[in-house]
């Protein structure tokens, strides 16, 4: 069973992707559980995990052009921005958490003259990551990197709109030396693969980034299955407040960037602007002028400021 991933520039299919469902999630969880309970990754020293993660980061930089092309093709992201922003940012995130891999430790606490206590930090186990479509690279590594550093194994479900780059990251992870079963990518749809991850009895934690409505469903599924902990980063928009002591031209630039950065496909997009009455007309005029000059088009064109939308809600 497969599904098409679509080029948002043309609306045409780029490729057909194997569609993961509950059975595929079960297989991925089985592999992750085997890798956690019996494999080397949780038993490596922090320094050993760090070395592999650093190699992973190096490979991301070596493959930066391929990865930037995948971001532009699958997510409509500007090729130039992906290459100078998202891709090096992913490598930096990996390196940051790689640096923490050998610094995960507990504390010994002197409770009294006769008693002492201690804390112990251990990997939680098998983790399910559900990734959104607006930042398929950034969110992949914001979730995967700390889990790798801690010694967890994991299942990653990329958004069905943007599966290509996650599959390529799995390929690079294997080249870097991440053991089999540690990082499992299962493309699929939310009601099937995503729901299977959220409700799976052998997943120890779920991390989800997406809409508030789906976040509620993830939390409910986690609670009614094995009461697994969840981390939720949910959608929302943010207003701008613009007062009459600002430089109006700069304020208009920032307001436009606030709503159009990443095509507005971002949870902190400034979808509302509150402008103090005395500068309202001047601000509105400048904002309209700048918006008319904003170039939308092919994400591979260096003159373009904004690529095509991935999803029209």
| Dist CA 131 CA 89 (whole Å) | 17
Q: How many residues can be counted in the chain?
A: 313
| Dist CA 257 CA 286 (whole Å) | 13
The active-site residue, picked from 19, 48, 233, 282, is 233
| Dist CA 47 CA 101 (whole Å) | 7
Q: Give the Cβ contact number of residue 199 at 10 Å.
A: 22
Residue 90 makes CB contacts below 8 A (sequence gap 6+) with 57, 60, 137, 138, 140, 141
Note whether 198 and 30 are within 8 A (CB). no
Phi and psi at 157, nearest 5°, equal -110, 105
First to last CA, the chain: 26
| Dist CA 170 CA 204 (whole Å) | 21
Is 233 catalytic? The answer is yes
Residues acting as catalytic residues: 233
């Amino acid at each position: 069973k497969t599904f098409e991933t679509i080029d948002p520039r043309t609306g045409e299919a780029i490729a057909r992707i194997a569609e993961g469902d509950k059975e595929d999630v079960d297989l991925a969880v089985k592999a992750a559980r085997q890798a956690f309970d019996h494999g080397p990754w949780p038993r490596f020293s922090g320094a050993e995990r760090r070395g592999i993660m650093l190699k992973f980061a190096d490979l991301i930089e070596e493959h930066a052009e391929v990865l930037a092309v995948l971001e532009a093709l699958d997510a409509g992201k500007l090729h130039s921005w992906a290459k100078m922003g998202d891709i090096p940012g992913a490598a930096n995130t990996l390196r940051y958490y790689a640096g923490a891999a050998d610094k995960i430790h507990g504390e010994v606490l002197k409770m009294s003259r006769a008693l002492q206590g201690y804390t112990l930090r251990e990997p939680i186990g098998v983790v399910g990551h559900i990734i959104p479509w607006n930042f398929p690279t950034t969110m992949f590594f914001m979730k995967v990197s700390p889990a790798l550093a801690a010694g967890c194994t994991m299942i990653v479900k990329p958004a069905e709109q943007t599966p290509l780059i996650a599959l390529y990251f799995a390929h690079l992870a294997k080249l870097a030396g991440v053991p089999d079963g540690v990082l499992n990518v299962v493309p699929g749809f939310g009601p099937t693969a995503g729901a299977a991850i959220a409700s799976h009895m052998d997943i120890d934690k779920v991390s989800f980034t997406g809409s508030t409505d789906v976040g509620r469903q993830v939390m409910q599924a986690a609670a009614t299955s094995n009461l697994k902990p969840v981390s939720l980063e949910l959608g929302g928009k943010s207003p701008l407040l613009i007062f009459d002591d600002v430089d109006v031209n700069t304020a208009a630039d920032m307001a436009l960037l606030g709503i159009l950065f990443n095509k507005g496909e971002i949870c902190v997009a400034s979808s509302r602007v509150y402008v103090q009455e005395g500068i309202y007309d001047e601000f509105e005029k400048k904002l309209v002028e700048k918006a008319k000059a904003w170039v939308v088009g092919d994400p591979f064109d260096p003159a373009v400021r904004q690529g095509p939308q991935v999803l029209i809600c």
